[in-house]
Amino acid sequence: MSDDTHRFEAVYRATYDQITAYAGRRCDSPQDAADVVAETFTIVWRKIDELPPGAEARLWVYGVARNVLADHRRSALRRQARHRDLDAEMADLYGDLAADRRRRSHGEITMRDLDEINELLRPLARISPDEPGGRAGGARAQALFADIIAQERDATTTALLRRPRGRRTLLGLAASAVLVLGVVLGPSLLGGVATSYANSVVEIREEAGTYVARIKDPYADQRKFSEAFRSLGLNVELRVIPISPSAVGEIVSLGGDLTPANGPIGAREEPADCDLADSGCFMVVTVPAAIKGTPGLVHFELGRPAKPGESYENNWQSATRPEEPLAGAKVSGRTVDDVLAEVGKHGLTAEFRRVVVHEGGYTVEPLAADQVGGDWIVFKVIPAREGVVGLEVTAERQTGLEYAD
């Protein structure tokens, strides 16, 4: 791959997300925004010799996008001048349309807008609708990249952008390589050590010494996640486990065979605090690139709704957390009789576990109900399964335990 292509790939990856959002906030429709994104990067490719070095490159790409947007706006103003009366009448008839235009005129953009922009870019990229999109590492963005670099740099304009909507096609065949269930990419799109991967449920790329996995469908077949990580030499598992109501959709556990030199692992939602049920919400997990090729396993456990009668696997968490059946109840340090009365008020039943205190901590073991006295002390109440909680108890108050009362 030539130096020019390397430079274009670097700036494309660094600015694709921002330019997509920039266009979406400023265009009257996702169709126009998709045009602006594609045309901006086509111009950047044709003028790659003018790309400044370092941090100035991003500003230069924004300048190109601003000029492309200005051209689109001038065209739009000419159309509006011819159809202003009709437009006003339509706005009166369709309040949602008028509200949508007011929203965009104030610079607002939703994840639905970004999804629609990338869906409009999909025909350019020939990627099936269930592929990840809307990000520089997404398969649609990768295929658009491949199409652009397949063009001659000295072209005065791109026929891709001047064809009528609904008839956009690729100018080259480079994007055909991504017509597979998983797309593996390296530092260049044509060779080298793989640093990125995308399939229908997850896309992974290396960012500054860290592998960032953006998970589109966290409840998909877990083998697809393992396949994705293994393709990059990463021994990482995403386990989906049955969980109590408050932890559904959360990474409830993470860990593995790491040393301080490997670096930290992490998990978050993107955007922050979004709902995984929404199409624009991603579960993001991060692992240090230093673990690549090492035998140690890193795992993430994601909570899913439990089936009827299925035991919860987050039985180290409290049943008094928000959204749990005993939310807000004071149970720690109270007698078993008091807590059982509280449990009954909520229509629940209880089972028991004995807390055994030892040096450095404690363990728990199953305990039959007929072995528990009413004056025993409850240390903690945990979610067991639907309609059932577990009481962790001791025969008397233990000085080695920290009660929440």
Q: What is the pTM for the complete model shown?
A: 0.50
Determine the Cα–Cα distance for residues 220 and 201; give it in Å rounded to an integer: 7
Structure tokens that stand for 248 in this block:
């559904």
Bridge partner residues of 270 (DSSP): 282
Q: Is the pLDDT of residue 162 over 90?
A: no
Phi, psi torsion values for 150, nearest 5 degrees: -80, -10
So what's the pLDDT on residue 84? Answer: 55
DSSP percent split of the chain into helix, strand, coil, nearest 5: 40, 20, 40
Cβ–Cβ under 8 Å, residues 339 and 389 = no
Q: For residue 172, give both structure tokens.
A: 């080259």
CA–CA gap between residue 264 and residue 207 (Å, rounded)? 14
Determine the pLDDT at residue 372. 96
pLDDT above 50: residue 169: no
> Band of the pLDDT at 208, cuts 50, 70, 90?
confident
CA distances from 224 to 42, 81, 365 (A): 33, 52, 36
Read off the pLDDT band of 153 (50, 70, 90). low
pLDDT at res. 388: 96
Cα gap 104→328, rounded to integer Å: 42
Q: Using the predicted structure, report yes or no on whether residue 155 has a pLDDT greater than 50.
A: no
- 3-state SS, residue 105: helix
Q: Where are the beta strands (DSSP E) in 47-182?
A: none
Torsion of CA 249, 253, 258, 261, to 10 degrees: 70
With contact defined as beta carbons under 8 Å apart, do 319 and 381 qualify? yes
Please tell me the least confidently modeled range out of 56-60, 133-137, 282-286, 302-306.
Answer: 133-137
Q: Which of 159-163, 181-185, 209-213, 274-278 has the highest mean pLDDT?
A: 209-213
pLDDT given for residue 352 in this prediction: 97
- Strand pairing partners for 243? 305
pLDDT band, residue 120 (cuts 50/70/90): low
The β-bridge relationship of strands 210-215 and 282-288 is antiparallel
What's the residue count for the chain?
Answer: 405
Place of tokens 């994705």: 228
The H or E element containing residue 23 is helix 3-26
What pLDDT score does 55 carry?
73
317-339 mean pLDDT: 92
For all residues of the chain together, what is the average pLDDT? 74
Domain-wise residue ranges, the chain: 1-130+149-171, 201-313, 315-405
Strands 251-256 and 183-185: what pairing? unpaired
The pLDDT tens digits for 348-375 are 999 999 999 988 788 999 999 999 999 9
Helices 95-105 and 56-93 pack at an angle, to 10 degrees, of 160
